Amino acid sequence: MGAIVIIPARYASTRLPGKPLLDRTGKPLIQHVVEAVRPARCVESVVVATDDQRIAAAVTAFGGEVVMTSADCRSGTDRLAQAADLMALGDDAVVVNVQCDEPEMAPQHVDRLVDLLERSKADMATLASPLPAGQASDPNRVKVVLDRQGYALYFSRSPIPFDRDGAAPAGYLLHLGIYAYRVGFLARYAAMAPTPAEQAEKLEQLRALEYGRRIAVGVVDHYAAGIDTPADYEAFVARCARGQQRSP
């Protein structure tokens, strides 16, 4: 059995309301995300988990698969865990969590992530890529610091590591919005109470670290830009238009 990609999607967004349904490219954003990850070799199916009938209707319209989850889910992780339960996935099944605002996620990165989870001793796995120092202060670009074995030490919206003396440019890593878990751990993870750093940074992956769980991080060269702000979406629309112009 291959990995199952589940894309948690909600309509509300503080910075970009209705984000999954933005469609100035001719397709809703959620369709771009589904189509981006479908070609991954390790993926058996791609499912959108939502509590919003508008998103469900849009996914069904382009032939996608939907699981309806509760409106009471506190986070994307909770929605993912509930979807895995509704799909009756076994504890050893591998679930990949792709954010609904990652329309340019490379399918080979999904394969890399699943392989990383299977080869490591981690509870979960994620990806990162090099980040130019000039972008490190942007709180919308989440940074991660690794130990020497490739496991996450911390994630932050602040520039980490902090280059105190300014003697040399610090090497920053941008966290990419994708995770892999086995369903058994995912259920336990979703049941953990939220933690102080998680709540302060608004980064739910910190919950796993604060409970002493390990997150393996694969570093990839490609930078897949997520859509967090109106400016991000404008840039994505422009990239899509250039791509269509180059197509025969």
pLDDT in tens, 179-204: 999 999 999 999 999 999 999 999 99
Q: Which residue has the tokens 């509870």?
A: 123
pLDDT in tens, 48-67: 999 999 999 999 999 999 99
pLDDT at residue 2, as a whole number: 87
Q: Is the dihedral of CA 135, 136, 140, 145 positive or negative?
A: positive
Whether residue 247 is predicted with pLDDT greater than 60 in this model: the reply is no
CATH number at residue 11: 3.90.550.10
Q: How far apart are CA 143 and CA 130, in angstroms?
A: 10
DSSP bridge pairs for 217: 126
pLDDT in tens, 71-124: 888 888 889 999 999 999 999 999 999 999 999 999 999 999 999 999 998 999
Q: Which residue has the tokens 């967090």?
A: 228
Could you say which DSSP state residue 32 is in? H
Q: Which domain holds residue 96?
A: 3-246
Number of structural domains found in the chain: 1
Amino acid sitting at position 153: L
On whether the CB atoms of residues 70 and 83 are closer than 8 A, the answer is no
Please give the structure tokens belonging to residue 79: 């929605």
Average pLDDT, the chain: 92
Distance spanning both ends of the chain, measured CA to CA: 37
pTM for this predicted structure = 0.91
